[in-house]
Amino acid sequence: MNILDLKGENALITGAGQGVGRQIALHFAAHNAGCVYVNDFSAERANAVVAEIRATGARAEAVPCDVSDFRAMQEKLEPLDIRMLVNNAGNAGADPSKVGRGEFWEQAPEQWTPWLGVNLLGVMNASRLVLPKMIIASRGSIVTIISDAGRVGEPRLEVYSAAKAGAAGFSRALAKSAGRYGVRVNCVAISATRTPATARAMDNPDFAKRALSNYVIRRFGEPSDVANMVLFVSSDAASWVTGQTYPVNGGYDFGM
């Protein structure tokens, strides 16, 4: 008996064109998800992951759009029947050059929008659009990838930290609202994880030595570390788990 079998349920993974999201999509496909819907703002990346999944014999479809754009998401998602949602899309979206850098008190408010749009509003948009059919079916799982920045705060990432903390608070509240309809809502909090965006820095020995001095387990996270936890929390193995945040962080922080 495979307790992580996803029993043919359809899944949507946002920001799944690379990195952690891609690995979650591959994990779900390998564990008997019905159709894995691969979202990314880049259609090219989404289609590449879909091709990778289909090559294994599993089902997948691309859902290219910006999660921060409710109307675009609505057009793509309303026809779909989703039972598992993973809100993985993060960072600063399609144009990270627009985000605020440096000290918070030197930033302009418009520089906060990319952080908030992807990491908070994107979570709310996708959740809002998949929930009605989950509630009708009396079953479903929503997992949101947050960050240790949202749990303990990171200097010079105040708005990003706020957005991730907001997504966690939203998830806890939604867990209380949706639980009576058989829908579970949880978070997975991650720290320094190797992705195409971080690999160059992590391969620098000086950077790695400094960064890893803050970790109990002296290595960076891998996408599979996160995907393993997301798979568990999404599956029926966690059928009595909701409203929780699970850190996957190599011991970066032990805070509750």
Does the residue 244 lie in any domain? Answer: no
Give a three-class secondary structure readout of 88-147.
CCCCCCCCHHHCCCCCHHHCCHHHCHHHHHHHHHHHHHHHHHHHHHHHHHCCEEEEEEEE
Does the residue 246 lie in any domain? Answer: no
Does the residue 69 lie in any domain? Answer: yes
Q: What is the CATH classification number for the domain harbouring 158? A: 3.40.50.720
Which range of residues forms the domain containing residue 209? Answer: 11-238
Phi, psi of 80 (to 5 degrees): -90, 155
Q: 3-state DSSP helix/strand/coil percent for the chain, to nearest 5? A: 50, 15, 35
pLDDT per residue rounded down to tens, the chain (256 residues)? 799 999 999 999 999 999 999 999 999 999 999 999 999 999 999 999 999 999 999 999 999 999 999 999 999 999 999 999 999 999 877 766 777 778 999 999 999 999 999 999 999 999 999 999 999 999 999 999 999 888 888 888 999 999 999 999 999 999 999 999 999 999 999 998 998 888 898 999 899 899 889 889 999 999 999 999 999 999 999 999 999 999 999 988 886 5
Does the residue 217 lie in any domain? Answer: yes
Which DSSP helix (H) or strand (E) runs through 160?
A: helix 158-178
Does the residue 255 lie in any domain? Answer: no
Can you tell me the distance from the alpha carbon of 247 to that of 244, in angstroms, rounded to the nearest whole number? 10
Q: Per the structure, how many domains does the chain have?
A: 1
Can you tell me the distance from the alpha carbon of 180 to that of 175, in angstroms, rounded to the nearest whole number? 9
State the pLDDT at residue 253: 84
Can you tell me the distance from the alpha carbon of 177 to that of 183, in angstroms, rounded to the nearest whole number? 9
CA atoms within 13 A on the CB side of 111: 15
Count of beta carbons in the 10 Å neighbourhood of residue 155: 9
Phi, psi of 148 (to 5 degrees): -60, -20
Contact (Cβ atoms closer than 8 angstroms) between residue 147 and residue 198: no
Residue numbers annotated as active site: 160
Does the residue 253 lie in any domain? Answer: no
State the pLDDT at residue 256: 56
Does the residue 30 lie in any domain? Answer: yes
Does the residue 245 lie in any domain? Answer: no
Beta bridge partners of residue 145, listed in sequence order:
188
